[in-house]
Amino acid sequence: MNKFVRLIALAPVLASGGAAADGFALGAKAGTLGLGVEGTTALSRNINLRVGINNYSYSFDETASNIRYNADVDLQSGGLIFDWHPFAGTFRLSAGWLYNKNAAHLTTTPTSNVTIGNNTYTPAQVGTLSGDLKFKKNAPYLGLGWGNAVAKGGPFGVTFEIGALFQGNPAVTLRSSNGAVSQADLQREAQDAEADLDSFKVYPVVSLGFSYRF
């Protein structure tokens, strides 16, 4: 996350080159990308630049290829978003890029026979089946929302945003702790899991935030 922190540190410098009358704003938000902080500066009357980072971890259960996994999810992302306010008001259309480190660690310990790839294995043969779910690092973002953190007026502001992060097809790798499951079956199972998790290639983004303009 160090590179994202450096981006945030550069935001005041960017602000000095934008519309000085509108100043610079710092904000905090929460949403489907996790908890985030961001800096906003005006590049013109209708266009703002946001630089931010997001981070959060949580767990949930997911079924892929008929196997129930426990998924520990790490949300980590950061990048640059351009906001266009077409009517010079609070409504905005957004586009940008995120450095995407969103990932999940999958684990399951079967208590009955399971089919992995083309073969059926006993719990003793499988042990613990674990793996990783990752996405492409460079992900485009499109969204729309309401709120202009650097608009003239009071220093405090509220923002709301919905959008989509195009993080690509998931890449799954699987491992068996007992070593009895063949690599060919693990690879086939990983491919089946990727197909089942295909809906995650477009990640929905919803966030609510608060900002302070300097």
CA distance 139 to 196: 21
- Give tens-digit pLDDT for 98-140: 999 999 998 988 888 999 999 999 999 999 999 999 999 999 9
* Residue 60 structural domain: 2-213
Q: Closest by alpha carbon to 63, among 199, 203, 205, 204? A: 199
Q: What is the CATH classification number for the domain harbouring 60?
A: 2.40.160.170
**Would the pTM of this model clear 0.85, i.e. be above it?**
no
Q: Does residue 167 surpass a pLDDT of 50? A: yes
For residue 112, count other CB atoms closer than 10 A to its CB.
6
Distance, in Å, from the CA atom of 62 to the CA atom of 10, rounded to the nearest integer, reads 39
Phi/psi of residue 109, nearest 5 degrees: -120, 95
pLDDT tops 70 at residue 181: yes
Q: Where residue 22 falls among pLDDT bands split at 50, 70, 90? A: low
Q: What is the pLDDT of residue 17?
A: 38
Higher pLDDT, 100 or 13: 100
11-20, 30-39, 54-63, 73-82 — which is least confidently predicted?
Answer: 11-20
Map tokens 């500066």 to a residue. Answer: 41
Alpha helices in the chain (DSSP H): 2-17, 123-126, 183-196
d(CA 47, CA 22): 12
Structurally, how many domains does the chain consist of? 1
